[in-house]
A and B are shown apart, each in its own frame.
Chain A
Amino acid sequence: MEFFRIRKDIPFMRHAVVFNVISLLTFLLAVFFLFSRGLHLSVEFTGGTLIEINYAQAANLEKVRESLGKAGYSDFSVQNFGSSQDVLIRLPLKAEQNTARIGESVMQALAAEAPGATLRRVEFVGPQVGRELAENGALALLLVVVGIVVYLAFRFEWRFSVSAIIANLHDVIIILGFFAFFQWEFSLSVLAAVLAVLGYSVNESVVVFDRVRETFRKVRGLTTPQVLDHAITSTISRTIITHGSTQMMVLSMLVFGGETLYYFSLALTIGICFGIYSSVLVASPLVMWLGVSREQFIRPKKQIEGANEDGAVV
């Protein structure tokens, strides 16, 4: 089997502007949704209480709502979680409530109207923790960005590191845009997925850049767009196969991992798809426009003292 039978280098760079416009539009759309709709942050970030309960039969959500209302709770949300037997209750943070006992008091309230529930999980997060988590998330993102820029600048060239990070940061924004548009829950594990994607799709750019560097060094007489086209064409097979394999694993998590891993793997899926696109078709044109050229990779040959024309020391 051989999926990719490519005779000539595909002229990706000819369409560089198109790719970048598409990606700019997606990016702007994502930013728009982020601002207009905002992220649906999980309890971990906002603070509050999350209670997961399980019924032997399909749960009557109306009854659950009713009994919570009667018990004096407000602004809560009740929804099915995974199956019709599992119910997830979200309660906002309230100063006057005795948070330490909220799990029991909810169970008591339910026992009257909608009996037969077993408590599966309670999560309570205080307000100060939520704020810290958000801050730490931002710091982690910053550290990843700086770390990658510095590493790539050191291993390659600043042009590469700048374009790689621009291309991949725009992936992050697009993932967030999806979460804002569909109002999917943005939790800590989604944040972990986003950062993992950032590291992962940068490695995609690295593979292409590696080829670019190699081609610049080995082959003479090519224009920069030609070098980029050649690098992308010769790595595309690996790109698709690798991402396909990773995606198979992620898909398996999406299907078998249950609710808890659902949004995690969803974020990864979006990240992987856009990661391929952006790190190949956005990062490479950026490198080109930033003015990469052959001279940057050819180290001036050192003249050894006493060497003759052929470089041999007599």
Chain B
Amino acid sequence: MNRYPLWKYLIVAAALLFGLVYTLPNFFGESPAVQVSSAKATLKIDEKTRERVASVLQTAGIESNGIFLDSNGVKVRLQTTDSQLQAKDLLEKHFNPDAGDPNYVVALNLLSSSPRWLTSLHALPMYLGLDLRGGVHFLLQVDMKGALTKRLDSISGDLRSLLRDKTVRHGGITREGDRVVIRFRDNETRSKARVVLEDSQSDLLLADQGEGDDLRLVATLRPEAIKRIQEFAIKQNMTTLHNRINELGVAEPVIAQQGAARIVVQLPGVQDTAKAKDILGRTATLEIRMVEETAGALEAAQAGQVPFGTELYVERGGMPLLVKKQVVLTGDRLTDAQPGFDNQTQEPAVHLTLDSAGARIFKDVTRDNVGKRMAIVLIEKGKGEVVTAPVIRAEIGGGRVQISGRMSTMEANDTALLLRAGSLAAPMEIIEERTIGPSLGADNIQKGFQSTMWGFAAIAVFMIAYYQLFGLVSVIALASNLLFLVALLSLLQATLTLPGIAAIALTLGMAIDANVLINERIREELRNGSSPQAAIHTGYERAFDTILDSNITTLIAGIALLIFGSGPVRGFAVVHCLGILTSLFSAVVVSRAMINLIYGRRRKVESLAIGQVWKPANVGAAEIK
């Protein structure tokens, strides 16, 4: 009765083999590598890039342990960290001759050093979380209200030029909260304007307001337009973050949307966290506005009475400046920004290139405002700073603009990088941040590994001492549970964190429960006078129901954590849930297979090596009465 059909043994053997193969890569560790990937969407990494990398390294005499091409780019595995740094510098120089405008991302990385046949089976080591490998984690909140405000500002600009093109006279266009108000002197013009706007601005809901000579047309965004703008804002911000991170040279960045208005950014292995935060945290957008130069206005503003429709700024260098709120041009119209030098003064400068619409607006504005000053405002984290406020000497066409004025070369570089990396559609704020130094990560791995190992050892010693052969079988089943769990985590490429390791340990500690239940049940059957074979059979049979029930309640808790947990808790929950599932298989099927192999084939079994089974003097007394 304690025999498994062949196919059951085969399943157990196959599962163990599977576990072994997919656990194996975790033991080979990782070797230093350099990764070359594309920094521009138009640039594809292909076999040619791989050959180029190979030839560059060959000429320099740096030996590599293999150069691979995958979806992320070209990866070079190197022998030592020294040669890794050397190779990185060399490739950086070769692939990005112009440091100001990199075409490629050359980054340090770690590659699994498991043999190629394993990698070809997709057997990869577990993906280590930030708390184990070090790095930065950010949670950014996109300011959706800001996105709408920005859109409405630019709509007001569009309306202004639209009405001017159609020669509709109006008494001013202003944004008031979440609506745009256009004033008119008579009803006729208002109806005319309404027709014009309805034709071209399908996103807007228009409503008439006011009477007498104070007639208004109030435009608000349609709900579907609001939804579209918000979706666009988060997508645009993610693209922007992508570009900025590319400039940082991170091998495997994670940029993902979380919920409706949040973005998670994870930069594993980033050592220079300050720089990373600097680039990401700077949520710069560019705006070009006109300077208010009415006599006395600046003095009034400094005295605390800022005239309507203007804002007081301090220019770089400390001079106060009154700038109109009305935005002429935003960073959206920017196609490129490069650091450089002013042709005449040799001052550091940033050269901007505008798209055609931007170029046209810029041309119009400069033509109409010769002799006046325009301010270039860089907005970071909700605060604006006037980079420079030059006087317009002549009409500027062609869409090429130069910003210069009191900038260091460094500042020019940074500003260009920020502007080039794309403007943000909406301001963002860091609402959660974790920075983990690499040494802490290594410590955490060590601690997690040690606690699991010692805990396992203690359980193993006890089980074998208490249940002898059955204890040994239980321990092997528990070890196979660990094997399956690690294999599954590696196969799914789930992220392993310190709470994840804790979950592995805890799951092992709980999983032994199933084997204790079985072993106790078998002892009890023996005590009640069953034959050894029958005791094994009923022991496993009866224990299974209990094991199932108790595991399901634990699984319910795990799933709740999975649904509502975030960050570290989710890592814990994933491992916990998987561990419960694998333990069901290993504790019941694997251990039974072993017991069957040991006892099932013998014709006559005198006793079971399950430790001492104590029987009360009058057999059955532990039963009732």
Contacts and interface: CB of A to CB of B under 8 A. Distances in A.
Query: Do most interface residues of chain A lie in helix, strand or loop, or is the interface mixed?
Result: helix
Contacts of A226: 624
B564 A261 contact: no
A1 B466 contact: yes
A95 interface: no
B444 interface: yes
A288 interface: no
B499 A192 contact: yes
B459 A203 contact: no
Nearest to B458: A248
A184 interface: no
Interface in A20-44: none
Contact of A258 (B444, B456, B513): B444
A260 B567 contact: no
B463 interface: yes
Interface stretch (A55-63, A67-75, A235-243, A293-301): A235-243
Given A7-B622, A196-B506, A245-B459, A140 B563 contact: yes
B553 A202 contact: yes
A15 interface: no
A101 interface: yes
B569 A248 contact: no
B454 interface: yes
Interface string B448-460: 1011101110110
A31 to B, nearest CB: 22
Contacts of B448: 257, 261
A253 interface: yes
Contact of A128 (B431, B553, B554, B555): B431
B277 interface: yes
A249 B505 contact: yes
A61 B612 CA distance: 57
Contacts of B513: 203, 242, 245-246
Interface in A99-139: 99-101, 103-104, 118-126, 128-129, 132-133, 136-137, 139
Interface string B260-286: 000000000000011001000100000
B435 A250 contact: no
Interface residues of B, number: 83
Given A207-B517, A241-B520, A244-B462, A189 B510 contact: no
Interface stretch (B185-193, B242-250, B543-551): B543-551
Interface in B590-605: none
- Counting contact residues on chain A (CB < 8 A from B), the size range is 35 or more
Contacts of A119: 273, 435, 437
Contact of B430 (A100, A251, A253, A258): A100
Interface in B124-171: 139, 141
B560 interface: yes
Given A189-B499, A249-B509, A257-B448, A120 B439 contact: yes
Given A5-B614, A139-B564, A151-B553, A246 B546 contact: no
A298 to B, nearest CB: 18
Given A126-B141, A144-B557, A199-B557, A120 B509 contact: no
B178 interface: no
Nearest to A2: B614
A207 B273 CA distance: 51
A90 interface: no
B549 A203 contact: yes
A192 B561 contact: yes
A136 B564 contact: yes
B437 A118 contact: yes
B433 A252 contact: no
Contacts of A144: 556-557, 560
Contacts of B524: 234
B361 interface: no
A286 interface: no
Q: Which of B463, B502, B567, B612 has the most CB of A within 10 A?
A: B502
Contacts of A139: 564
Contacts of A252: 450-452, 454-455, 458, 505
B263 to A, nearest CB: 13
